[in-house]
Amino acid sequence: MPEENLISNRIKGIGYAFRGAWLLIRTEISIQIQVVIACLMTGIGFYFEISQTEWILQIFAIALVLGVEGLNTAIEKLSDYVQPEFDKKIGFVKDISAGAVMLVSLAATIIGLIIYVPKII
């Protein structure tokens, strides 16, 4: 019986994860923009026939940006729930979270430039 619970709990967990990803994409403009960029870059990858290694790097960069953006959104929502009024400490936490998104977005941009600039020039 414990194995059945483990399997059914994993299946439920996957369902919750898909629901969370759908809610994130459906309700957050920042994620919607990132998803559009991800689709655009995927199309460009097919157009330029990037290598397997370049695909791995691109997919990793996209996943990292989307994942950190999702965590940033969760931190912001939780912060607003815990402290709906302006609070300098909450603002500090939210700024750090937004900074993390900026850092991975910058890294993803650099990866994109490394992949595509030589193909354009």
Residue given tokens 């655009």 in the structure block: 40
- In the chain, DSSP assigns E strands to none
One digit per residue, the tens of pLDDT, for the chain of length 121 reads 556 688 888 999 999 999 999 999 999 999 999 999 999 999 999 999 999 999 999 999 999 999 999 999 999 999 999 999 999 999 999 999 999 999 999 999 999 999 999 999 9
Nearest residue to 101 via CA among 68, 58, 53: 68
Give the class (CATH, top level) of 29-120: mainly alpha
pTM assigned to the model: 0.88
Distance CA 38, CA 96 (A): 24
Distance CA 91, CA 115 (A): 36
Domain spans, the chain: 29-120
Phi, psi of 50 (to 5 degrees): -65, 155
